[in-house]
Structure 1
Amino acid sequence: MTTVKQSSESGAPDKLRRVPTDPEDRAPKPRALIVTVYGLYAREAGGWMSVASLIQLLAQCGVDEPSVRSSIFRLKRRGLLTAAKVGGVAGYELSDTAREILDEGDRRIFERRRASADEGWLMVVFSVPESERDKRHQLRSRLSWLGFGTVSAGVWIAPAHLLDETRETLARQGLQGYVELFRADHAGFAATADRVRDWWDLDRLHELYDAFLAQHGPVLAGYRRRRRIDGARAFADYVSALTDWRRLPYLEPGLPLDVLPPDWIGIRAADTFFELRRRLAGPAHDYVESLRAAA
Structure 2
Amino acid sequence: MKPRSLMFTLFGEYIQHYSTEVWIGSLIQMMSHFGISESSIRGATLRMVQQGFFKVRKIGNRSYYSLTNKGKRTMMDGFARVYSMRNYKWDGNWRILTYSVPEEKRELRNQIRKELSLMGFGLISHGTWASPNPVEDRVMEFIKDYHLEPYVILFTSSSVVSHDNHELIHRGWNFDEIAKEYESFIDQYRQKYDDFKERIWNNELSDQECFIERTKLVHEYRSFFFIDPGFPNDLLPADWSGLKARELFFNVHQLLSVPAIRYFETLFEKAPDCELEANRDRAINPFMDIV
TM-score, with length taken from structure 2: 0.77
* Residues 1:291 and 2:267 aligned together: yes
Structure 2 residue corresponding to 1:232, chosen from 208, 212, 220: 208
* Residues 1:57 and 2:33 aligned together: no
Identity %: 28
For residues 69 and 164 of structure 1, the distance between their equivalents in structure 2, rounded to whole angstroms, comes to: 34
Task: Indicate the residue corresponding to 2:170 in structure 1.
Answer: 197
Task: Indicate the residue corresponding to 2:65 in structure 1.
Answer: 92
Residue 149 of structure 1: how far off its partner (Å) = 0.9
Aligned to 2:36, the other structure's residue is in SS state: coil
Cα distance change on mapping 1:72 and 1:132 into 2, 3 Å: closer
One-letter amino acid of the structure 2 residue matched with residue 136 of structure 1:
R
**For structure 2, which runs of at least 5 residues remain unmatched after alignment?**
270-291
The equivalences for 1:78-157 within 5 A come to: 78-86=51-59, 88-130=61-103, 132-157=105-130
One-letter amino acid of the structure 1 residue matched with residue 45 of structure 2:
I
For residues 63 and 130 of structure 1, the distance between their equivalents in structure 2, rounded to whole angstroms, comes to: 37
* Residues 1:168 and 2:141 aligned together: yes
One-letter amino acid of the structure 2 residue matched with residue 278 of structure 1:
Q
Aligned to 1:72, the other structure's residue is in SS state: helix
Aligned to 1:151, the other structure's residue is in SS state: strand
Residue 133 of structure 1: how far off its partner (Å) = 4.3
8 Å Cα contact 1:115/1:161 also seen in 2: no
Task: Indicate the residue corresponding to 2:155 in structure 1.
Answer: 182
8 Å Cα contact 1:159/1:253 also seen in 2: no
TM-score, with length taken from structure 1: 0.76
For residues 64 and 208 of structure 2, the distance between their equivalents in structure 1, rounded to whole angstroms, comes to: 22
Residue 207 of structure 1: how far off its partner (Å) = 3.2
One-letter amino acid of the structure 2 residue matched with residue 246 of structure 1:
R
Aligned to 2:244, the other structure's residue is in SS state: helix
Aligned to 2:153, the other structure's residue is in SS state: strand
Cα distance change on mapping 1:31 and 1:266 into 2, 3 Å: same
Task: Indicate the residue corresponding to 1:273 in structure 2.
Answer: 249
Q: Which moves more between the two structures, 190-199 or 281-290?
A: 190-199
8 Å Cα contact 1:124/1:155 also seen in 2: yes
Answer 1 or 2: higher relative contact order, Cα 8 Å, separation at least 6: 2
Cα distance change on mapping 1:195 and 1:67 into 2, 3 Å: same
Q: Which moves more between the two structures, 151-160 or 127-136?
A: 127-136
Aligned to 1:246, the other structure's residue is in SS state: helix
Structure 2 residue corresponding to 1:253, chosen from 206, 225, 229: 229
Residue 31 of structure 1: how far off its partner (Å) = 2.7
Cα distance change on mapping 1:34 and 1:126 into 2, 3 Å: closer
Residue 130 of structure 1: how far off its partner (Å) = 5.0
For residues 104 and 47 of structure 1, the distance between their equivalents in structure 2, rounded to whole angstroms, comes to: 17
One-letter amino acid of the structure 2 residue matched with residue 38 of structure 1:
F
Aligned to 1:160, the other structure's residue is in SS state: coil
